[in-house]
Structure 1
Amino acid sequence: MRVEQLGEGQPELAIVGGIHGDEPSGVSAVERLIEASPPVEKPVLLVIANERAIEAGERYLDADLNRSFPGDPESEAYEERLAYELSERLAGTTALAMHATQSHPEPFLVADRVDDLVERLGRTLPVDAVVDTGEFIQGRLFRSVRTVEVESGLQGSERAADAAIGIVIAFLEEMGALAGETADDLRERFGVASSSASESVPVFRLTRSVPKTGTGDHLVSANNFELVDAGDRFASADGTPMVADESFYPVLLSAEGYDEIFGYAAQKIAELPRERPDNAE
């Protein structure tokens, strides 16, 4: 695990990339910020988490790091020990964890609950949706540290890498760590936009997983965050259509992303009006 810091004193905020070794966009965002070393109003930890998995180009080596929190310092599994160490390093911070996906090209925010902070970030960050996992997905960094996650786009794409650094800048600006002129300078340096063009941001809550069946010939025909009506085909397994028993919004739905599930079904629970960052915490 690589840890750097911007500013002096006890960190209040953290940016974490590389929780999964096959998601380079977050690693790129942290490395860019380390290289730029901008002046900050609050101290910020910059973390590249799973360096061994990054070097191997694998999601993880022994256990999925983002299903292993709060971790175990005595575990035989490398990622479970790393989860404990990362939890200790991030204690007392509000963390932004950067991810990427195989299911959706546009960035979206993921949190374990929709509170004032998540609503505020949903309105101001350049993301197209907010996903509330609740207690549905266990073992994520949420369990150890106040965290919001962002899926920055498709794994390995330049578009996801650019989205990731833009989101990091917007987060630090919104949380009062970057002055407005510093944030604008960084955006110009990296060629990224300050906000999304959308007028509002939908909020979805996960309700269930969508299991895979068959032997491995899977296709997805629905679009993430677009309503699938009851009776509509949304995927196929070994050539057999899969039809929705009830209406749902797909989230992280992909033929490739998970071994045993296509992704998740969600309900739409809110629409947040878009606000531009006001540089105030």
Structure 2
Amino acid sequence: MRVAQLGSGTPEIAVVAGIHGDEPCGVRAIERLLADRPTVERPVKLVVVNEKALERRVRFVDEDLNRTFPGDPDATTHEGRLAHELVEELDGCLAFSMHSTQSHADPFAIVNAMNERTTELVPRLPVAAMVETGTFAEGRLFSEIQTLEVECGLQGTETAAQNADRLTRAFLTAVDALPGDTVTRELPVFRLTDVIRKQRADTYEVFVENFAEVEPGETFAAADGDEQVAAESFYPVLMSPNGYSDVFGYAAEKVDVLQSTTAAD
């Protein structure tokens, strides 16, 4: 794990990247910040987490780090020990954690729960939606540390790296670490309600768009041609043919539309 800092003092803000080793976009954003060394108005901690997985260009070495928190200093896995170290490193910080996905090109935010801070900050970021995990947060970083996750775009693309840089600077502006104003936007909010599992198969297909409502009776996915049909309406989130080994993604409900009243127009 590599830790650096912008500004002097004890940081209450942290930017986190490289939780998954096959998602380098956030690392690129941190490296650019370190190269530019912008003058900050409050100190910021910068953390590149799973260096071993990044070097190997794999999601993880032993187990998925973002399903491993709080971790254990005596864990038998690399990620189990790393999770414990990261929780200690981020103690007292609001963390901005960057990821990428195989399911959706437009950036969106993921939070453990809607609260005053997330409803104030997230509409000021260049994201298309906010997703509340609800009961699906076990083992993720924000189950232990106050965290705002962002999916920056499609995994491995230059666009995701550019989005990561833009999202990071917007976040640092929104929390008053960088000078300037942010742009407010209307933001749909979704809450995860179920996991959409998939059977073992050779080929998988997804027929619907993330964040677009699926109607009852609509075919939304297939495994080896065996179609899955919606019994009731839902909004797909993180749905892709091969993003996860055992699930297509998640079903969600649309719960709100937010607009910040504090950001500059």
Question: If the length of structure 1 is used for normalisation, what is the TM-score?
Answer: 0.91
In the other structure, the counterpart of 1:216 is 202
Shift of 1:143: 1.8
Q: Which residue of 2 aligns with 1:259?
A: 245
Using the alignment, how far apart are the partners of 2:166 and 2:261 within structure 1? 16
- Measured at CA, do residues 206 and 27 of structure 1 come closer, stay the same or move farther in structure 2, by a change above 3 Å? same
Which residues of 2 match residues 172-211 of structure 1 at below 5 A?
Answer: 172-180=172-180, 195=183, 199-211=185-197
Q: Cα 1:53–1:275, aligned 2, differ >3 Å: closer, same or farther?
A: farther
In structure 1, stretches of 5+ residues that fail to align are 184-193
Which residue in 2 is equivalent to 1:32? 32
Alignment partners' CA distance in 1, 2:129 and 2:260: 11
C-alpha displacement of 1:13: 0.1
Residues 1:95 and 2:95 aligned together: yes
* Structure 2 unmatched runs, 5+: none
Quick check: 2:200–2:246 contact (8 Å CA) kept in 1? Answer: no
Deviation digits for residues 137-190 of structure 1 (CA, Å, limit 9, x no counterpart): 31111122110100001001111111111110011111011111xx8xxxxxxx
The CA deviation at 1:273 is 2.5
Match of residue 81 from structure 1: 81
Distance 2:137 2:90 in 1: 20
| 1:45 counterpart SS class | strand
Q: TM-score normalised to the size of structure 2?
A: 0.96
- Deviations along 1:44-84, one digit per CA (max 9) or x if unpaired, are 00010000000000000011111111110001100010000
CA distance in 1, matches of 2:154, 2:225: 26
The 2-side partners of 1:142 and 1:121 are apart by 16
SS in 1 for 2:152: strand
Instruction: Tell me the amino acid that sits aligned with residue 148 of structure 1.
Output: L
* Residue pair 1:201, 1:274 contacting (<8 A) in 2 also: no
Q: How does 1:1-16 map to 2 (within 5 A)?
A: 1-16=1-16
Cα deviation, residue 22, structure 1: 0.3
Q: Which residue of 2 aligns with 1:249?
A: 235
Name the counterpart of 2:215.
Answer: 229
**What one-letter code is carried by the residue in structure 1 that aligns with 2:203?**
D
Deviation at 1:27, TM superposition (A): 0.8
Aligned length: 265
What is the alpha-carbon distance in structure 2 between the residues aligned to residue 143 and residue 13 of structure 1?
Answer: 17
How far apart are the structure 2 equivalents of 1:276 and 1:201? 14
Letter aligned with residue 10 of structure 2:
Q
**Deviation >2 Å, runs of 4+:** 273-279
